[in-house]
Amino acid sequence: MQEMNIAELEYNNEREHLIIPEYGRHIQKMVNHAIAIEDREERNKVAKAIIGVMGNLQPHLRDVADFQHKLWDQLFIISKFQLDVDSPYPILTQEELQERPDPMGYPQSHPKYRFYGNNITSMINVANSWEDNDLKQALIYTIANHMKKCFLNWNKDTVEDVVIFDHLYELSDGKIDLRGGKADELTNSQSLMKSKKRFSSSHSSTNNNNNNKKYRSNNNNNNNGKNKPRRKY
């Protein structure tokens, strides 16, 4: 058996850095070989052959839109933009690759009463866009009751309807004014708190029942395993 010369071994830390590791070192060597070809026609043939091999290595991406375009872009990236071939798509440049996208606009909202949430503002805007009728009046009181529920979730105590009416007047820029109404027009605070407790208790009881069922089923399975007769040998 012929002995291997240790000096001829090639270690990964001594090899060329992989531009796109998903394609492996053989693809990168093929691209380097294509760059070294002087005949342009032969270089185009080799580039198309490399694209075919790259597509076979990524079969799960064949249904992705512009699949071939992505492969050609990756080919130029692997070649460090040194491969001069005729591409069926606009050739990607290094400047375009390194160009940073424009920052996305994100709505910045800093409500004064954060415990109401941003949806309250949207609901108030919808109510202001409606014509004055019974349906709009019902929506306004629904918004006020929802604001009262949100306030109780935050404060966990009673709240006067006058406070809700003042906040609603302020958030609507004075377009919705319920301050002159009756003090008991909104849902009682205790009723809102009871409905919240009733929901939380029913939710916890449902979880407990599910846990008990799982516990009983596990015990039954264990008992069935224990009651099986032993096989005699």
Angle, helix 189-227 to helix 134-155, in steps of 10 degrees: 60
pLDDT tens digit sequence for 94-136:
898 888 888 887 766 677 888 888 888 889 999 999 998 999 9
Counting residues of the chain whose pLDDT is more than 70, the rounded percentage is 75
Tokens of 12: 């990964």
Asked if 147 and 167 count as a contact pair (C-beta separation under 8 A), the reply is: yes
The label of the residue with tokens 């990756």 reads: 74
Counting residues of the chain whose pLDDT is more than 90, the rounded percentage is 30
* Amino acid letter, residue 144: A
Asked if 93 and 84 count as a contact pair (C-beta separation under 8 A), the reply is: no
Q: Which residue has the higher pLDDT, 233 or 19?
A: 19
What does the domain layout of the chain look like in residue ranges?
A: 11-97, 114-192
Rounded Cα distance between 119 and 155, Å, is 19
pTM: 0.47
pLDDT tens digit sequence for 168-199:
999 898 888 888 766 567 877 777 666 555 54
Residue 211 has pLDDT above 60, yes or no: no
- Of the listed ranges 56-70, 140-154, 159-173, the least confidently predicted one is 56-70
Handedness of CA 14, 19, 22, 27 (dihedral sign): negative
